[in-house]
Structure 1
Amino acid sequence: MLAGGRGNRLLPLTLERPKAMVEVHGVPILRHQLDWLAGCGVEHVVVSAGHLAEGIVSYLDSRPSPPRTEAVIEQRPLGRGGGLRRAARALPYPGEPWFAVYGDIWTCFCLCGMRAHHLRGDVAATVALAGRGLPGSAVAYDELGRVTDLAPSAPGPGRVNAGVYLFTWQVISLLPEEGDHADSTLPRLVGARQLAGYAIDAPWQAVNTPADVTRLERELADRRATRQTVAE
């Protein structure tokens, strides 16, 4: 899990805490993600921490399993690709496929379905694609579900990169020591037709600004009220 960014766009919420510890309805984003991963059967999570890392380390130390967690701390910013590479090297299951998750998203889809899709596709990597009409990095893909463009200029199916990947173990060697995997690794996988897309229609939102937090809290409150109404 990538949780090393400074979260400048989330200021002032990130003045004294890392981005992953920003709260939504009193719940840190990190806690939501760990609960989601545990519910999907994930047993071990390595968190790539950097800015204000002590807040993440303290939280992980106080949180019961599952999943088992550990933090890998960047002494200097390595970029998203560098952070992923360093964290992946700490995973306890060499040779096995591994999920990579951005630490600033809020979602709840089933990772089991994504894993099955990835294995059927026989590709090096799979990226989750969030629903149409959402703000984010657009992705184009063909009729077979292979990603063809990470920044299409022409209108396409309208899905966006959800910040959740499933990589084969070999992809670790393709990640940069420093820098962004979106500038190097992902284009290479697209060119080799080794990046599949997995469409999700579950709730999803990136949490990049205070307005995103407010919007997400409102949406969660609306969903809770709807469920209560249905139950009654």
Structure 2
Amino acid sequence: MSVSAAAVATPAPAASVPHTAMVLAAGLGLRMRPLTLTRPKPLVEVGGAPLLDHALDRLAESGVERAVVNTHHLGAMIESHLADRSSPAITLSPEADLLETGGGVRHALPHLGTDPIFVVNADILWLDGPIPALKRLAATWDPAVMDVLLLLMPTVAAVGYDGPGDYHMEADGRLRYRAEGELAPFVFAGVHIVKPELYHAITENRFSNLRLWQQAEEAGRLYGMRHDGVWFHVGTPEAVEEVNTLLGHPILHDAKLSQPRKAEP
């Protein structure tokens, strides 16, 4: 039986935060044009800093020590932007050809180790609730029953999102992708934990993470956790303008947004 948007997966005991993250920053940003004609989408500024910096700062604040960032469109700009960053430590994974989300992670496997990792879309923005979302996700992660754990946002509360949603969530957190033409109460929020070993079973170079999620769902090992803060769908120039306006609202203005970190002396 599916549950309401108030449900979350039950936290597992004593889980540690993954030390490594994969940050997906290689997309073309076609819907963000003309902003992405001169810069990659992750370097578009929202809330006073590039989207990529917001994601990396969240990872550093949650204890992630190393982030692997894939690049393609205007990748040299991302490389230059990250050159002085020290927390988390950055490893670049350039892609001559776009490999999609799953292929990008698979290509970077030599840098990711064997322990579970965060995978974060570099073009998203969120505000945390009382406990940082990444720490909540790590506390919920249970490798005994999970292969993939997605951060989810209630569809009706996702700022700037007008799609049909992605998933239904059971009482124990297990997920079911919506049927064609169906509305779903949760939308994927661009952050998840996954076991890198899952990528070794796929031989193609180019594929979407959705393929792994479908396999995990069929095995009963795809789980979700509801985000209890604010999540922004930033996909177009109009959305960037709208979110920047919203972040100027007194309530959201006082919420914590990470700022770019400088290299330590």
TM-score, structure 1 normalization = 0.88
Q: 1:82 to 1:99 in 2, by over 3 A?
A: same
Q: In the alignment, what sits opposite 1:162?
A: 189
Q: Partners in 2 of 1:88 and 1:204 — Cα distance?
A: 29
Q: Partners in 2 of 1:163 and 1:12 — Cα distance?
A: 23
Cα deviation code 1:80-139 (max 9, x no counterpart): 111121224312xx2211010111100143211111111277311100001331225421
Within a 5 Å distance, the mapping from 1:23-172 to structure 2 comes to 23-63=45-85, 65-91=86-112, 94-109=113-128, 110=132, 111-119=134-142, 122-133=145-156, 134=158, 135=161, 136=163, 137-150=165-178, 153-156=181-184, 158-172=185-199
Cα deviation code 1:132-181 (max 9, x no counterpart): 3122542112222101115564344x111011110123222245521212
Q: Partners in 1 of 2:209 and 2:80 — Cα distance?
A: 28
Shift of 1:211: 1.2
When structure 1 is superposed on structure 2, of 161-170 and 136-145 the one drifting more is 136-145
Q: In the alignment, what sits opposite 2:221?
A: 194
Q: Partners in 2 of 1:203 and 1:46 — Cα distance?
A: 26
Q: 1:194 to 1:223 in 2, by over 3 A?
A: farther
Letter of the structure 2 residue corresponding to residue 186 of structure 1: W
Q: 1:189 to 1:223 in 2, by over 3 A?
A: farther
Within a 5 Å distance, the mapping from 1:189-228 to structure 2 comes to 189-223=216-250, 227=254
Cα deviation code 1:181-207 (max 9, x no counterpart): 21x211111111111001112111132
Shift of 1:44: 0.5
When structure 1 is superposed on structure 2, of 134-143 and 10-19 the one drifting more is 134-143
Q: Partners in 2 of 1:103 and 1:226 — Cα distance?
A: 22
| Structure 2 residue matching 1:119: 3-state secondary structure | coil
Shift of 1:55: 0.5
Q: Partners in 2 of 1:8 and 1:152 — Cα distance?
A: 25
| Structure 1 residue matching 2:82: 3-state secondary structure | helix
Q: 1:169 to 1:82 in 2, by over 3 A?
A: closer
TM-score, structure 2 normalization = 0.78
What's the % identity of the aligned pairs? 31
Q: Is the 8 A contact 2:24 2:101 kept in 1?
A: yes
When structure 1 is superposed on structure 2, of 18-27 and 134-143 the one drifting more is 134-143
Q: Is the 8 A contact 2:247 2:253 kept in 1?
A: no
Q: Is the 8 A contact 2:246 2:252 kept in 1?
A: no
Higher relative contact order (CA 8 A, sep 6+): 2
| Structure 1 residue matching 2:108: 3-state secondary structure | helix
| Structure 2 residue matching 1:62: 3-state secondary structure | coil
Q: Is the 8 A contact 2:166 2:178 kept in 1?
A: yes
| Structure 2 residue matching 1:14: 3-state secondary structure | helix
Q: Partners in 1 of 2:69 and 2:143 — Cα distance?
A: 28
Gaps in structure 1 of 5+ consecutive residues: none
When structure 1 is superposed on structure 2, of 141-150 and 40-49 the one drifting more is 141-150
